[in-house]
Structure 1
Amino acid sequence: MFVRIVKMGFDETHIDTFLADFKENKERIRTFKGCRFLELYRDKNQSNIFFTYSYWESESDLENYRQSDLFKGIWKKTKALFNMKPEAWSVDKLESLK
């Protein structure tokens, strides 16, 4: 399993726009070929900081998503709302306890 974590910071005036866009697109992202899991988190102490956390079957599935028209459209709208440079990590899941 391939995991992608993305940290994004928004100007306070753009948070509602971001959340509406995420709500509109989350099912299309989640059902994109290779995506197995998608969550959105909000920092408890800095309410303008958000994280997406997604599982992908492979790195190539994530790359196919990143090259898709779906991603390009979402990212174009989202990056215009940032107040800081986004950060992203691609990690391998080693263990999971339930």
Structure 2
Amino acid sequence: MFVRIVKLSFAPENINTFKANFETIKHKIRAFEGCQLLELYQDKHNSNVFFTYSYWTSETHLERYRQSELFKGVWANTKPLFNAKPEAWSVDKIASLQ
């Protein structure tokens, strides 16, 4: 499994636009081949900061998504809303307790 974490910071006036855009495309991203999980989090103390967690079958699957027309459309709509450069990490899950 390949885990991707992305930190997104938005101008306060763009938060609702981002949330509305995410609502319309989240199922398409989740349905993309190789995507096993998609989650969106909002920071409790800094409401303009969001994190996406996505689990992919492999790095190749994530890269196919990142090269897809779906991602290009998502990015075109999201990029103008940022107030800071996004940060991304690819990580290995070491443990998960439920």
Please give the TM-score of this superposition, normalised by the length of structure 1.
0.98
Aligned to 2:14: 14
Tell me the secondary structure at the aligned position of residue 41 of structure 1: strand
Aligned to 1:66: 66
Equivalent-residue separation in structure 2 for 1:18 and 1:10 (angstroms): 8
Tell me the secondary structure at the aligned position of residue 36 of structure 1: strand
Q: What amino acid sits opposite 2:50 in the alignment? A: F
Equivalent-residue separation in structure 2 for 1:36 and 1:94 (angstroms): 17
Query: After superposition, what is the alpha-carbon deviation per residue over 1:22-65, rounded to whole angstroms, capped at 9, x for unaligned?
Result: 00000000010000000000001000000000100000000000
CA RMSD of aligned residues (A): 0.5
Equivalent-residue separation in structure 2 for 1:57 and 1:96 (angstroms): 17
Equivalence map 1:25-36=2 (5 Å): 25-36=25-36
* Superposition deviation, residue 11 in structure 1: 0.4
Unaligned runs of 5+ in 2: none
Equivalent-residue separation in structure 2 for 1:23 and 1:77 (angstroms): 13
**Number of corresponding residues:** 98
Aligned to 2:46: 46
Unaligned runs of 5+ in 1: none
Aligned to 1:84: 84
Please give the TM-score of this superposition, normalised by the length of structure 2.
0.98
Equivalent-residue separation in structure 1 for 2:81 and 2:14 (angstroms): 6
Identity %: 64
Tell me the secondary structure at the aligned position of residue 85 of structure 1: coil
Equivalent-residue separation in structure 2 for 1:89 and 1:34 (angstroms): 18
